[in-house]
Structure 1
Amino acid sequence: MDGIKSAIPVSLGYISIGAAFGIVASAQGYSIWQVFFMSTFLYAGAAQFIIVAMMAVHTPISVMVLTIFLVNFRMFLQSLTATQVFPHQSLRSGMMMGTLITDESFGLLTLEHAKRSKITPVWMHGVNVMSYLTWIASTVVVAALGNLIPNPEKYGIDYALVAMFIGLLALTLDSMVRHEKLPVVLIVVISAVLLYYVSGIVVSSYVAVLIATIVGALIGAVMTNPEKKRVGEGS
């Protein structure tokens, strides 16, 4: 239940952005079942918007697959980080957690871990499942309503998830600073920004973001080494 309660802010954000996707998909002629299967089996907000946009201009399947892979590659990094927070969970639990993890649920995990809260795999599964079901329901219900809201951008619906994620990031950074991790935060942020602009000279912005994310995450992991800290705290 604690995980479900913690996921309420994420779910509220998913309702708004899911509504925006439902409207866009419906306007492009997607059926309710197509929206349902896309939200259930792909479950990636940015990727779903990209697919709808690319399908509208008849983009080759190979390009779509590569684009979605690059956009969602960060999920591998997030899943690996989550396994460090819960090193003793079963393989089945870890696979389920990695399958349903999102930017926002990972943000909650990072926030609670930085606050040194007593979180468990069950808590994380509650966050993930609540977010997952909310996303499916919001996209399908609004797609079923058709074009009742023809211009979601007018009401700022498309920005709701971004605003929520910025809030999670701000809370996480504040918690890390309170636990004397300001040098780590500064080094990771500066490194990621520099890598983004330098690599952006020779590669696309999508690849530059990926490179900056991977290297920044590795730097943060090496500097904080959460697994050793957990062993030390348990002794």
Structure 2
Amino acid sequence: MSQDDISPIAEILLGARDMLPMTLAASTYGIAFGLLATQSGFSLLQILSMSAFVYGGSAQLVALDQLVAGAGVGAAVLAGAALNMRVLLITASMRDAMVGRPWWQVLMGVYLATDASIALMQTGKSRRALSSYWYLFGGGTSLLIAWIFTTSIGGILSKGIPDPTRFGLDFALVAVFVAMLPGLWRGRADILPWIVAGGTVLTFATMFPAQSSWALILGAVLGGVTAGVVRGD
């Protein structure tokens, strides 16, 4: 289907439709995040704000993990921000869709850029289907709405679970993040960055256990730099 023969509204709807499998998958760990965030002392408003303004599942999980582990707010924010630095690299593939767009559309496109939405555009290109700005907008917006909704639902449901450790939910944060890893994998070019990031975290945490929260930040930064060099971004 050529994007010259379709209206922006139709492109938005097609993007939302093609994103549906990832939206359903993200909803499962969105509920888990909301539940664990509430059990960690977050209010429903704080969950909503974090999901809307950070809009980064893996980054939110890492930041929450740091807070639960007793790290300060600054360390948690830095850890999440460092992990989200990969977005600076993946947005390079959005260049064609952004050229000639008004500044506010460019900002919105960058805001909606996630591993899933970029993968959606790349899939569209490989199928010689849509890979336009409005296609990205439709997919990214539908995922954002689902993420905010399900994290809120998780926060509400947690009110009925007074002791999460009794049900093994204290381990759910780790389990959910591990389950997300296959979705973050984009091919063999990720092998070296992952090794650098993982090796850095393990080495730093072993050598400086009292400052282990900073290991995530350093690992994310070095992994991102390595990815940029490997991919030539």
What's the TM-score, normalizing by structure 2?
0.72
Corresponding residue number in structure 1 for 2:38: 26
Corresponding residue number in structure 2 for 1:178: none
What code does the residue aligned with 2:68 have? A
Alignment equivalent of 1:8, drawn from 12, 20, 26? 20
Corresponding residue number in structure 1 for 2:3: none
Are 1:214 and 2:228 counterparts?
A: yes
2:34, 2:151 within 8 Å by CA — same for their partners in 1? yes
Q: Could you tell me how far 1:116 is from its partner in structure 2? A: 2.8
Corresponding residue number in structure 1 for 2:212: none
Corresponding residue number in structure 1 for 2:80: 68
Counting aligned pairs with the same residue, the percent is 20
Are 1:91 and 2:100 counterparts?
A: no
Corresponding residue number in structure 1 for 2:156: 144
Give the number of aligned pairs: 200
Q: Could you tell me how far 1:210 is from its partner in structure 2? A: 1.2
Corresponding residue number in structure 2 for 1:177: none
Corresponding residue number in structure 2 for 1:183: none
SS of the aligned residue for 1:146 comes to helix
- Show structure 2 runs of 5+ residues with no match: 1-12, 205-214
What code does the residue aligned with 1:107 have? A
Q: Could you tell me how far 1:207 is from its partner in structure 2? A: 3.0
- Show structure 1 runs of 5+ residues with no match: 174-185, 222-235
Alignment equivalent of 2:54, drawn from 33, 42, 57? 42
RMSD of aligned C-alpha atoms?
Answer: 3.1
SS of the aligned residue for 1:7 comes to helix
What's the TM-score, normalizing by structure 1?
0.71
Map 1:146-225 to 2 at 5 A.
Answer: 146=158, 150=164, 151=168, 158=176, 160-165=179-184, 169=186, 188=189, 192=193, 204-218=218-232
Map 1:49-128 to 2 at 5 A.
Answer: 49-128=61-140
The 1:33/1:61 distance shift into structure 2, 3 A limit, reads closer
Q: Could you tell me how far 1:131 is from its partner in structure 2? A: 0.4
What code does the residue aligned with 2:227 have? T
Give the Cα separation in 1 of the matches to 2:195 and 2:175.
32
Give the Cα separation in 1 of the matches to 2:25 and 2:101.
29
User: Structure 1, residues 102-130: CA drift from partner, whole Å, max 9, x if none?
Assistant: 11111111222233323321111000100
2:26, 2:147 within 8 Å by CA — same for their partners in 1? yes
Q: Where do 4+ consecutive residues of structure 1 move more than 6 Å? A: 193-203
Of 54-63 and 104-113, more deviation after overlay is shown by: 54-63
